[in-house]
Amino acid sequence: MLEAQLQTQQRSSQNGQETSLWSSGFRMKLEAVTPFLGKYRPFVGRCCQTCTPKSWESLFHRSIMDLGFCSVILVKEENTRFRGWLVRRFCCFLWSLEQHIPPCQDAPQKIMESTGVQNVISGRAPGGAGEGQVPSLVKKDVQRILGHIQAPPRPFLLRLFSWAMLRFLNCLFLNVQLHKGQMKMVHKAAQAGSPLVLLSTHKSLLDGILLPFVLLSQGLGVLRVAWDPRACSPILRALLKKLGGLFLPSEANLSLDSSEGVLARAVVQAALEQLLLSGQPLLIFLEEPPGTQGSRLSALGQTWLGLVVQAVQVGIVPDAMLVPVAVTYDRVPDAPRDTYHALPPLGLWTGALAVLRSLRGWGCSHRVCIRVHLAQPFSLQEYTINARSCWGSRQTLEQLLQPIVLGQCTLVPDTEKEQEWTPVTGPLLALKEEDQLLVRMLSLHVLNACVASSAVMSTAIMATLLLFKHRKLLGEFSWLTEETLLRGFDVGFSGQLRCLVQHTLSLLRAHVALMRVHQGDLLVVPRPGPGLMHLARLSAGLLPAFLSEAVGACAVRGLLAGRVPPEGPCELQGIELLSQKELYRQILLLLHLLPQDLLLLQPCQSSYCYCQEVLDRLIQCGLLVAEETPGSRPACDTGRQHLSAKLLWKPSGDFTDSDSDDFEEAEGRYFRLSQQSRCPDFFLFLCRLLSPPLKAFAQAATFLHEGQLPDTESGYVEQLFQFLQATAQEEGFFECADLNLAISAIWTFRDLGVLRQTPSPAGPVLHLSSTFASRDNQEKLEQFIRQFICS
């Protein structure tokens, strides 16, 4: 009892000391530090020059780079037409009254008279009145389905919503930053006459009400948002429809031969066509809502995008301007604490209580910043014409990797990986196969643009340092920020270094602990368990900036795995010569192994082009040094290079079998790992960025002989997740104990041919394939994955 009492006193004294450290502001004297962001901030968000060269040139001007940022929620007396002390008190209310809300009638009569709906009513299409249904009853069904989709927006509710949203955002956030140059690009695209379709990431449920507020405040009118019906209660859906929301009716996902499904899809298509003809902007989320397990790409988002593509191809509208959008937060306000169970639908009263809790619980010291990113718009018509020529042949993961994993083959096929994890809904199944492929490729392309234009927030940088490179936070925070800016990614903060670090640590207060050490220094330690998993999810925001280097570092690690022992000194690794052909092969193997949702490579870029980009990045950052072997031509000798006639007309990125001469020449190029003092730490840092998914895959391979198969997919996911949690408790590596990583590993093994799936009444049933039933092949799979992991 005395020992327990003593431990309790020690624990309470430590907690009291930690609380005093937080409340005292670390007892640091703030010093004026030269801002390292100033005028060197990169301008991000240019569209693809390969797929949309005309949009890349026409919708951009260099003067917009110097326009700077503005805070959308900062409304003053100058933002209204009136002046005076009373105006200063009610400026937010007056500002909301002055917002221009154009008339946006949904024209139900025009939807009823559209060609697709009339074909169903008259019986010329399957499910029409000619198949035994009375036309008047079909018209009632059309009106009922249209009521499920949308409702006429209410101007009074929109003005009230904008005023309430302005007050709410000012209480909850420090600022909502928007680049005025990006907004000018969107205004220029809107003036061209084509409807705007905004394609966004989905980090928070707040995105669906934040983005309409931002665009309404910038004079773009009422933004129609395609909401997920599963995420909202019926009462909330009714309110959102009056604010401009759109909902896909459940009948649209019925089979192609269902009369109700045909009618619902015709009404949805007609409603979207009328919306595009009216010129109202549309917002579609390409990612699944937060808290959803499984595929990153949203099936609902691809459905709405497919309807837009179909409207343009049919000629209802000549073109549509697509705008990639991303919203980034220092800390997501509605991030679920339990991310391993599906969230219930959000109700009106539940949302109101969440708002009140947020306003009460978030003090001024915990308020976060938001960045809204609007990338350069591009023409859908132009993309449709140019993108098809960039797609090459594709093979499944089983055809690409299984012979190499089992040691039956060493040559990597010169094809792309075919991997589709997003389920196909009814409206997409009604399209042609080539149009379905166009929608999938366009979704990947736009989501890649959204991620590339997203700013890296301070919490992502701090979480990465605490997980992978924890030494001196002040110096390394500045170093990692500069490295991020050098790679063409923007950051969502600025100011004095000490203030930034203090603000970031206050946002991460629930997941880190502060301890005072000698000479007045502070030691920041991540809290084990859920704290580490939360930091791992935050650090994923930094991975896109270093993805190419991380893939290259893991590929180099795999190449050295069979030559140098992992615990060997760095000098031995620097002695080994690495040929360019071997590096290409290792990079390709890793690209095929990692999920497409993680890499988000542009579909217009071939894998071999990306291999060269990865190699160039490793050389630029100083990790690889060119080595000239005796008797070979010096790498810097360009005078002896002969340009053959067949290479003069070949477009860049066209890597076919005729390019074998180039790769034969590349066999004579060799590299070494740099021996500079900073390179080993940086190499290890890059490898650890990809360690969570790779370690989860390796542990899933270990679990093959321990898991209970056959089992349903959900049951086996639960088995693997429990195994990952148990392993994390033993090894102390909690970053891979994530349910999404468990699902990703199982789906990758299914594509690889390790697991087979058969349908059953209870859902898909997984069982071990005959090829990997033997323990030897399971060990080969685990060894293949572990070669890329740097311990």
Residue 696's CB is within 10 A of a number of other CB atoms, namely 26
Q: Both tokens of residue 557?
A: 């690690």
For 660-702, how does the pLDDT look when each residue is reduced to its tens digit (9 = 90+)? Answer: 444 445 556 888 888 887 888 899 999 999 999 999 999 999 9
**Whether the predicted pLDDT of 635 surpasses 60:** no
**Whether the predicted pLDDT of 570 surpasses 80:** no
Report the DSSP pairing between strands 173-179 and 69-71.
antiparallel
Q: Alpha helices of 24-154 — where are they, by DSSP H?
A: 53-58, 85-89, 91-98, 108-112, 115-122, 135-149
Report the DSSP pairing between strands 196-200 and 321-329.
parallel
| CA–CA distance, 656 with 415 (Å, rounded to integer) | 10
Say what the pTM is. 0.88
The mean per-residue pLDDT over the stretch 298-320 comes to 94
| β-strand partners of 71 | 177
Distance between first and last Cα of the chain: 42
For 746-772, how does the pLDDT look when each residue is reduced to its tens digit (9 = 90+)? Answer: 999 999 999 999 988 877 899 999 999
CA nearest to 228, candidates 203, 208, 198: 208
| CA–CA distance, 176 with 163 (Å, rounded to integer) | 15
At residue 700, the pLDDT reads: 96
CB 596 within 8 A of CB 418: no
CA nearest to 666, candidates 569, 788, 754, 581: 581
Q: What percent of the chain shows pLDDT beyond 90?
A: 37
**Whether the predicted pLDDT of 335 surpasses 90:** no
| CA–CA distance, 379 with 182 (Å, rounded to integer) | 16
Share the mean pLDDT of the chain.
Answer: 81
The model's confidence at residue 608, banded by pLDDT at 50, 70 and 90, is confident
| CA–CA distance, 193 with 187 (Å, rounded to integer) | 11
More confident residue, 77 or 545: 545
| CA–CA distance, 561 with 571 (Å, rounded to integer) | 15
The mean per-residue pLDDT over the stretch 462-471 comes to 82
Cβ-Cβ contacts under 8 Å for 321 (sequence gap 6 or more): 189, 190, 192, 194, 195, 196, 197, 377, 378, 379, 380
More confident residue, 195 or 105: 195
**Whether the predicted pLDDT of 314 surpasses 80:** yes
| CA–CA distance, 541 with 553 (Å, rounded to integer) | 19
Cβ-Cβ contacts under 8 Å for 695 (sequence gap 6 or more): 733, 735, 736, 789
CA nearest to 768, candidates 694, 698, 701, 699: 701
The mean per-residue pLDDT over the stretch 461-471 comes to 83
For 404-446, how does the pLDDT look when each residue is reduced to its tens digit (9 = 90+)? Answer: 999 998 888 888 898 888 888 888 888 888 999 999 999 999 9
CB 390 within 8 A of CB 604: yes
For 130-166, how does the pLDDT look when each residue is reduced to its tens digit (9 = 90+)? Answer: 454 556 777 888 889 999 999 888 888 888 888 888 8
**Whether the predicted pLDDT of 398 surpasses 90:** yes
Q: Where are the strands (E) in 544-662, listed by range?
A: 578-579, 624-627
Residues in the chain: 791
> Is the peptide bond preceding residue 289 cis, with omega within 30 degrees of 0?
no
**Whether the predicted pLDDT of 366 surpasses 70:** no
HEC readout, 121-162 = HHCCCCCCHHHCCCHHHHHHHHHHHHHHHCCCCCHHHHHHHH
The mean per-residue pLDDT over the stretch 105-121 comes to 80
CA nearest to 300, candidates 205, 392, 204, 427: 427
Measured in degrees and rounded to the nearest 5, phi and psi for residue 610 equal -65, -35
Which strand ranges, in their side-by-side order, compose the sheet holding 578-579? 578-579, 670-673, 624-627
Which of 63-72, 551-560, 624-633, 728-737 has the weakest average pLDDT? Answer: 624-633
Which of 579-588, 678-687, 710-719 has the weakest average pLDDT? Answer: 678-687
**Whether the predicted pLDDT of 340 surpasses 60:** no
CB 152 within 8 A of CB 105: yes
For 240-292, how does the pLDDT look when each residue is reduced to its tens digit (9 = 90+)? Answer: 999 989 999 988 888 888 888 888 999 999 999 999 999 899 999 999 887 78
